[in-house]
Structure 1
Amino acid sequence: MKHFFIWAPFFLLCFSLRGQGTVQDYRRADSCKILYKGKVFNAPDNFAWIKSDHGFWYKNESKGGKEFMLVDVERKVQQKAFDHLRMARALSASLKKSVPAQDLPLQDVEFSKDHKSVKFTIDSARVKCLLPSCQCSVENVIRNKTGEGYWGNAFNEGASQPVKSADSLWVAFIKDHNVFMQSRKTKETFQLSYDGSGGNFYSSFITWAPDSKKLVAYKVKPGQTRTLYLIESSPTDQLQPKLQQREYLKPGDELPHRQPQLFLVDEKKHVPISDSLFSHQYALEDVRWNKDSRFFTFEYNERGHQTYRVLKVDAPTGNVSVVIEEKSRTFIDYSSKRFRYDLADGSQTFWASERSGWNHLYRYDVASGKVINPITTGEWVVREVVHVDEATHQVIFKASGLDKDQDPYFTHYCVVNFDGTGFRRLTTSNANHIGFFSDDYTYFVDHYSRVDLPPASQVIITATGKPLMEIQKADIQPLLNTGWRMPEVFSAKARDGQTDVWGIIIRPSQFDENKKYPVIEMVYAGPHSFYVPKSFTERYTGLYALAELGFIVVQVDGMGTSWRSKAFHDVCWKNLKDAGFADRIGWIKALGQKYRYVDTERVGIFGTSAGGQTAAGAVIFHPEFYKAAVASCGCHDNRLDKMWWNEQWMGYPIGPQYAECSNIVNAPKLGGKLLLIVGELDDNVDPASTYQFANALIKAGKDFELITVPGMGHSSGGEFGERKRRDFFVRALLNREPPSWEMAYPAK
C-alpha cells in the first residue's frame, strides 16, 4: 500500500496526458486550417463608400456564396448590387472562361454615383459593366505591377524630375550637384547655388513656394552605406548558389545630414539657413510652405528620438524658429503616434503628444509657438484622427481606454471641438469598434466585435451618434458545430499590483477540465504596438492547431507595449529584454490559480522576429518559469538588426544596454530547451543574428536545436517550421515522442 501512494502521482500524470500529442490530436490540429475555414457567415469587415454619395458597397459571405451588396443609406435599403448569375454569365462570355456566380473574383470594385455601372479588375482586365443588364466590356489590360522597392534602400536624393513652379513659368532642377532654374518660356537658365559638391550635394527634391518666387532645396552630406549579404543556397533557375545583397543600416551607423536652403527667384539669391536647431539628425523631412509664402516649416527628429521639433523658416530672411518642441527623457514614439494637421490659413497646427502621460491632441499658434489649448485630455489615449472639420471646428477621432469597465484597448469614435469643449462619444458598447466614414463624414459604418463576441455592423449618424440601420450580424453556428471554442478574455494585475494586463486563452476543442494542460504562450512584445487580438476572428488557426495537441495557448500584452499610458510603454526603453515578463509570468500564474487544469510548471513560449528575441530571452533570463522556447528569425542582439526599429527603443548612442539585452552575450545563461528557426534569405532581421546566437550557445556548451529553411525569408518557418514547432513542444512539455509525419499528416 505504501508503494501505491509513492507511484500514484505518476499514474495520475500518465492518465492526465492520455489524448495529448497523439496521432488523432495531430490530425485534428492539421485539419483546423480547413475545418474552420468558411464557417462564419454575414460578417463583412470592409465597407467602401461611393464617392460623393451616401451609399456604400460591401462583400458578404453568405451560406449561398459570396455576395456584393449595395446600401442606400438615405433610403435605408440594402440589396444585392447586381444579379450575380447574370454577371457570371456575362464575364464568362467576355473573358472566355468559366466564372462562378457564387464566388465572383472581383477586385478594386468601383460603383458609379448613380449606381448604374460598376468597374472592377478580374484577372488582368479592367472591366466596366452596365447595371442591371450586366453588359460588360474590357476597358484596358493591366500590366504587371513592378515590385515595391526594398524597405531598407537608402532614400534616393536624385530621383526627382525637374520641378515646376506653382505658376508653371519656371522649372527647377539639379545639375553638377547644384540648383538651377530655367524659364519655361524663354529657356533661359540661371544657377542658384554654387556650393554643391559630390560630398555635399543638393537633393533634387525641391519645394516651390505657392507664389513661385521662392524655393527650398536640401543640401545633403551623405551618410554611411552598409550591405547585408545573403546566400540563396537553392535557387530555382540554376544549380549553383547565388549571393544576394541589400542596403541595411544598423544601430550606430552614420546617417546623412540634410540642410534646407532658401532661394529667392527674382534676386537669384541663395539664403543660407543655420542648422543650429537641427544639427544632430535622425531625419529631416516634410517641407511645407504656408499659403501666403511667408514661411515654410519642416520636421526634425533628433538622433536618439528624445527631441522632435517642428521648425519654421521665415522668408526672405531664412531665420529659423521653433513652432513645436517635443522632449522626452526616454523616447518620442514618432513611428506610431506622430500626428500633425495645419489649418488652411497656416495660423494654427494640431499636434499629438504624450507629454501628459497619455497620447492627446494639442492646438498650437504657429506665430508664437505656444499651445492655445489641449484639445483632448484624460487618462485615455487618442489612437487616430479621422477628420479635422475646419468649417464646424470639430475633430473626429478614434480613442481607447475610455471605459474603466472595458478592455482598455477597445477603440471608440468621438467628436470634440477645437477648443476642447463639446466632447461626445459616437460609440459606447463593450466591443472593439472599427469605423468606415462617408467622404463627407455624415455617416459611418460601425463594425464592432470582441474575440468572444461575433461581429455586427450598423450605420451611425455622425452628428448624433445614433444608429440609423443595421447592416449584418454574424452567424457563427456552423463554426461552433465544428467544435471550435471561443477564446476567453482574461486580465490580471501587472507587476505594480494596480495596472491590469490583458490576454486571451485558447483551449482545445476536446478540452477536459479533469486533465492537466501545459501552457504555451505566443509572444510578440515589440514596443511599437500591442498584439493580443481585440476583434473576433476564427483565422488564428495556428494557435487553435497548437491547442489541439493538448495545450492551453495564451497571448498577453505586458508592460513595455504601446497604446496605454506613457509610463506603461516606457518600461521597454533601453530594456527590451524585460519584454513585460514580470507581467506575463504573473498573468499565467493568476490563470493557474483560477483554473486547476492549467499547469504552470510546464510553460513554453514561441515567437517570430522581435517575438523570436523575446522567446529565446524567456529561457535565458527566466528559465525558472519557461521550460521551452521556439524562436524564429529573432533579432538576438539589437546591434545586428535594423537601425530605425532598434534605436527607437534601445536608444542612441550605442551603450552597455545593448549588450545587457543581448541573447548572444547572455547565451551561457540558457536554462530551458530551445529551438531556433531562421530563413536563409531573411532581409528583415539579419540571419547572422541567429547564427551568432547559435555560435555563442555552442561555445557555452549549451544544447539546442537549429533549423535553417532554404529559400525562406522573414517568417516562422512556413509549414515545415510549424510542424517542427509542434513536435518540439510535444517532446518538451508533454514528454512524449511525436508520431511520424507520415501518420500525423497523411497525404491528401
Structure 2
Amino acid sequence: MYDKRTAYPLLMGLLFLLAGFSTQAQEKKQITLEDVFKDARFSQQSVTGINWMKDGQYYTSLTRKGGYPRVVKMNITTGEEEETLLDGAKLEVSFANFSLNKEETKALIESDIERIYRRSSKAVFHVVDLASGEKQVLMDGEKIGYATLSPDNTKVAFVKDNNLSWTDLSTNQTTQITHDGKDNEIINGAADWVYEEEFSMAKAFDWSPDGKKIAFIRFDESEVPEFNMQVWGELYPQDYVFKYPKAGEKNSDVSIHVYDLEEEKTAKMDAGEESDIYLPRIYWTGQNNTLAFLRLNRLQNQLDLFYADAKTGGSEVILTETADTYVDMDYNDNLLFLENNKGFIRTSEKDGFKHIYHHDSKGKEIRQITSGDWEVTQMVGVDEKNGKIYFISTEKSPMERHLYVINLNGKGKKLLTPEEGTHRVNMSRDFKYFVKYHSTADSPLIVTLNQSSGKELKVLEDNQDLRDKLENTAMPSKEFFDFQTVDGTTLNGYIIKPVNFDESKEYPVLMYVYGGPGSQNVTNSWGGVRDFWHAYLTTEGYIVACVDNRGTGARGRDFKHVTYAQLGKHETEDQIAGAKHLASLPFVDASRVGIWGWSYGGYMSSLALMQGNDVFKAAIAVAPVTTWRYYDTIYTERYLQTPQENPEGYDDFSPINHVDKMEGNYLLIHGTGDDNVHFQNAVDLVDALIGADKQFESFYYPNRNHGIYGGNTTWHLYNMMTDFIKRKL
C-alpha cells in the first residue's frame, strides 16, 4: 500500500543518495595535458629486464645502487635476490647493457653507449669473469660495435670502423678480418641504413657453433646515392651525409662470407648470379660447416633459403617461396633449426594466413603444424625435448593476442591465456615458466609468473597505483565497433566518447589513423601516451575514433595485400568510409570531422583531407611521407614495385598531386633531422600547396628525428596540436 508518510522520507533519502553519487562523480579529476605530458601521471609500471638464466628458476636483472649499476640473480618464484653477479661500483664501470655467455661464467658489459640510428650503436666493452670479478677492456677502451663472445668463450668478435675483427681473450691480441671498411662505402659485419630500418637488423655476423668460423655480410654501398641533412645549432650548420637508397635507386651490393680463424682465410658464399638482391639473414644450421641464408629478389616476391658449405662457398637452394605480390619475410625471425639435423620450423602465409610449418633438413615440407583463418604472430619457442611449440596467435580475435601450445605433430593445441585481451610472454629457456604481460583496452598491464601449463603462480606487477588514479579520474573507455564499406568489407574500429556523453548532443570527431601494411591500431590492449591525449580531448568535448583500413594486419594475406601496387587508394577510401559512418551517427556533428596521424598515418591524414574534402574539416600530419618516390627501396618497393615499373602507383596517390583538392584546415609537422621520412617530404608538399594557393599551417622541429622528442619537445608538440584542434575543429 502507498503511504505518503513513509514514501516522502524514502524519496528524500534517495535524492540525497543520488546527489552524493553525483558529487562523487563531479569530484573525479579531469585529465589535463600536464598530467599526460609533463607529470607522466598515467605511466604504467612493468617488469623489465627479465633475462632468463639456464635454470628457469632464475633470471638476471639490471638495477642501480648508489648511482652504479648492478646485475643481480633473482629467484623468479620468491622474487628475492640470490646474489650479485656484476657490481658496477667494484668494477668501476657505469655500464648500461650486459649479456652473459651460455655457461653464465662470463659477461660482456657496455658503457658510454653512442646511438647511431634506430638499432645501431657503438660503445666501450669489457669482458668480466664472473668467478674472479676481473675485467678486460676491449680495444683499449675505444668504441666498437656488437661485441659477441665466441661459443667457446675464448674470443670476442666485433665491428670497428666498418671492419670486422676478433680478439683472443687469453693474449688480448686482436686480428682484423677485413681491411676495406670505409665510411659511406664498405661495411663488414654491420647493416647499412636501409637493412637496419626495414629488415630489423644491425649486427650482421655470427659465430659458428664451434667458435672456429665467423660468417658475416658485406655491404658495398659506394654507389648508393647520398642523402644530406643539415644539423643546426652552430654558426655554420653542419652537413650530415649518409647513404640512403630511395625507391628505384641503387642498393648496396651485398655478399656473404665466412672467415676461418685457424686458416685465416675468407670464403665467399655463392648466392647466385643475380646481384640486385637482398641477403637479410644468416643462420648456422647447427652444423659447423653449413651456413644457411635467405635471399630475396629486388621485388621481394621470391624468397630462397640456401645451404652453403662454409669452407668452399658452394651452395644450393633448399626451399623457394613465391607470391604474386610479395613474400612476407618474418622479421620476428620465426625460422628455427632443430637439433640433430631434424630439420627446421618456420612460418609462412602461403595458405592465406601465417602459420607454422615443419621441414626436414633438405627443405621438404613434413607438415603444416597450425591452420585456420587466423594468424600466428610469433613463435615463442620450440621445446624439442618434449616436442612442443609455444606461439602467439589471433585465433580468438584479430584484435587480441593469446598464447597457445601445440605438439610438433600438429596435435594437442591448447590455449594457455584464456582471459580476453592482449598477451605478451617471456618464456624461460627450459620452458618451465613464462612471464605473462596482459592488458585490455580498459585494464592496464598485469604481469604474472606462470607455469608452462598456464597456471598462474604469482602476480609480479598489478599497476594498482595506476588503477587507483584511474578510479579517481574521469576516464572514458573505448567502445569497439565494426561496419561495412560500400564493397561489403567489414572494418574494425573503436570510439572514445566523453565521460559525460549526452546522446542528444552533437559532438565533433577526431579520427586517429596509421593504416600501413600489416599494422594495427584497433586492438583490445592498454594504450600509451596518445590514448591518454585522446582521453584528454574527450574532456574538451570531442569524440575520438579509429578505423583499421584494408591493408592492416591480423586478418590474413588477402586483406593485407589488397593494397599492393597502389598504396593509399583503398586505405583512403576506407578512412573516408569510416568518417561517413561516424558522421551518420545521431550524436556526431557531420560538419566537424577531423583526422590525424604520424608517419604512414600522416600520409593517410593528408590524403584523407584532400580526397575526402567533403567529409573532413581538418587534418594533422606529423612526419608524413608525401611521395613514395622519396622513401627507401626495401619498404616501398615491397608494396609498390619500383617507380620505373609502376609510376602510377607512386604518383596517383601522392598527397603532392592532390593539393588542389584541399578545402579544410591542415597542419603539417616535421623534424628537420628525420633520417627516416626526410624533411624533404614536407618541403615539397609545402611548395605544392603554395603553388595551388592553399592556406595551411606548418611547423618544423630543428634537428629532431622521426620520433620528434627530447627535452620539452613532446609537450610542445601535443600542446600545439591541441590548440589547432580547438581552433579548427
Letter in 1 for 2:626: H
- 2:266 and 2:518 map into 1 onto residues whose CA distance is 41
Displacement of 1:374 in angstroms is: 0.6
Q: Distance in 1 between matches of 2:705 and 2:244?
A: 15
Alignment map for 1:430-441 (pairs within 5 Å): 430-441=420-431
Which sits farther off after the overlay, 297-306 or 426-435? 426-435
Q: Provide TM-score, normalisation by structure 2.
A: 0.74
Does the C-alpha gap of structure 1 residues 394 and 701 become closer, same or farther in structure 2, counting only changes over 3 Å? same
CA apart distance, 1:166: 8.6
**2:610 corresponds to 1:620:** yes
Give CA-to-partner distance per residue, 1:218-266, whole Å, 9 cap, x none: 6765452333323344x2xx45544433432221221233344679999
Partner of residue 630, structure 1: 620
- Equivalent residue for 2:347? 352
Partners of 2:119 and 2:48 lie apart in 1 by 31
Q: Is this contact kept in 2: 1:200–1:219, CA < 8 A?
A: no
Residue in structure 2 matched with residue 505 of structure 1 by the alignment: 495
Q: 1:726 aligns with which of 722, 725, 729?
A: 722
| CA gap 1:710/1:349 in 2 versus in 1, 3 angstroms | same
2:35 touches 2:42 (CA, 8 Å); kept in 1? Answer: no
Q: More deviation in 598-607 or 381-390?
A: 598-607
Structure 1 residue identity aligned to 2:226:
T
Judge conservation of contact 2:215–2:259 (CA < 8 Å) in 1. Answer: yes
Equivalent in 548, 561, 576 of residue 567 of structure 2: 576
Superposed displacement of residue 164, structure 1: 11
Name the counterpart of 1:76: none
Moved more, 661-670 or 469-478: 469-478
Question: Does 2:663 correspond to 1:671?
Answer: yes
CA contact under 8 A between 1:415 and 1:423: conserved in structure 2? yes
Q: Which residue of 2 aligns with 1:659?
A: 651
* 2:254 pairs with 1:258: yes
Choose which of 526, 533, 536 in structure 2 pairs with 1:536.
Answer: 526
Runs of at least 5 residues in structure 2 that lack an aligned partner in the other structure: 1-29, 96-110, 123-143, 171-176, 190-203
The answer to which of 369-378 and 620-629 deviates more is 620-629
After superposition, the Cα gap between the structure-2 partners of 1:257 and 1:110, relative to the gap in structure 1 and judged at 3 Å, is: same
The corresponding residue for 1:691 is 683
Cα deviation for residue 111 of structure 1 reads 2.8
* 1:251 maps to amino acid: A
Give yes or no for contact 1:278–1:300 (8 Å, CA) kept in 2.
no
C-alpha spacing 1:34/1:120, structure 2 compared with 1 (3 Å): farther
> Which aligned pairs between 1:200-349 and structure 2 lie closer than 5 A?
222-233=221-232, 235=233, 238-260=234-256, 274-276=270-272, 279-288=275-284, 290-291=286-287, 293=289, 295-314=290-309, 319-334=314-329, 336=331, 338-349=333-344
Is residue 427 from structure 1 mapped to residue 422 from structure 2 by the alignment?
Answer: no
Match of 1:382 among 376, 381, 384: 376
- C-alpha deviation, 1:348, in angstroms: 0.3
For the residue of structure 1 that corresponds to 2:92, the secondary structure is strand
Contact 2:38 2:715 in 1 (8 A): no
2:306 partner letter: L
Q: Which residue of 2 aligns with 1:11?
A: none
Q: 1:33 aligns with which of 36, 47, 56?
A: 36
Deviations 1:610-664 (A, max 9, x none): 2111111111222222221111111111111233332232223542111122111
Q: CA–CA distance in 2 between the matches of 1:196 and 1:107?
A: 36
* Identity %, equivalent residues: 26
Partner of residue 142, structure 1: 94
In the TM superposition, residue 478 of structure 1 has moved relative to its aligned partner by 3.7
Question: Which residue of structure 2 aligns with residue 461 of structure 1?
Answer: 451
Q: d(CA) in 2 for partners of 1:289 and 1:283?
A: 17
The 2-side partners of 1:170 and 1:533 are apart by 45
Deviation, 1:580, is 2.4
Q: Is the aligned partner of 1:518 residue 2:508?
A: yes
For the Cα contact (< 8 Å) 1:305–1:331, is it kept in 2? yes
What is the identity, as a one-letter code, of the residue corresponding to 1:147?
A: E
| Aligned-residue offset at 1:685 | 1.3
Secondary structure of the structure 1 residue equivalent to 2:247: coil
TM-score, with length taken from structure 1: 0.72
d(CA) in 1 for partners of 2:623, 2:698: 11
Task: Out of 705-714 and 354-363, give the one that drifted further.
Answer: 705-714
Aligned to 1:712: 704
How big is the alpha-carbon RMSD for the aligned residues of Structure 1 and Structure 2?
4.9
In the aligned structure 1, how far is the partner of 2:626 from the partner of 2:218? 37
Alpha-carbon distance in 1 for matches of 2:642, 2:455:
49
Aligned to 2:74: 111
Q: Which residue of 2 aligns with 1:489?
A: 480
1:395 aligns to what?
389
Residue of structure 1 equivalent to 2:517: 527
Amino acid in the other structure paired with 2:651: A
Pick closer, same or farther for the CA change 1:565–1:605 going to 2, 3 Å.
same
Q: Whole-Å Cα distance in 2 between the matches of residues 147 and 256 of structure 1?
A: 24
Mapped to 1, the partners of 2:357 and 2:41 lie a distance apart of 45
Which of structures 1 and 2 has the larger relative contact order (alpha carbons within 8 angstroms, sep 6+)?
A: 1
What is the letter of the counterpart of residue 563 of structure 1?
A
Question: What is the identity, as a one-letter code, of the residue corresponding to 1:603?
Answer: V
Change (3 A) 1:509 1:116: closer
Q: CA deviation at 1:546?
A: 2.4
CA distances 1:530-550 after superposition (whole Å, capped 9, x unpaired): 123532347432212222322
Letter in 1 for 2:673: L
Q: Is the 8 A contact 2:209 2:284 kept in 1?
A: no
- Mind listing any 5+ residue stretches in structure 1 that lack a counterpart? 1-26, 60-67, 69-86, 96-104, 128-136, 186-191, 734-748
Pairwise CA distance, 1:415: 0.9
- Which residue number corresponds to residue 15 of structure 2? none
Across the two proteins, how many residue pairs are aligned to each other? 637
Q: Is the 8 A contact 1:365 1:371 kept in 2?
A: yes
Residue 443 of structure 1 is matched in structure 2 by 433
The amino acid across from 1:282 in the alignment is: Y
For 1:386, the aligned partner's letter is: V
- Counterpart in 2 of 1:14? none
CA, structure 1 residues 264+53, in 2 after alignment: closer, same or farther (shift >3 Å)? Answer: closer
* Residue equivalent to 1:743: none
1:142 deviates by 0.3
Counterpart residue number, 2:693: 701
2:475 partner letter = W
User: Is contact 1:452–1:488 with CA below 8 Å preserved after alignment?
Assistant: no
Q: Give me the whole-angstrom Cα distance separating, in 2, the residues matched to 1:681 and 1:201.
A: 24
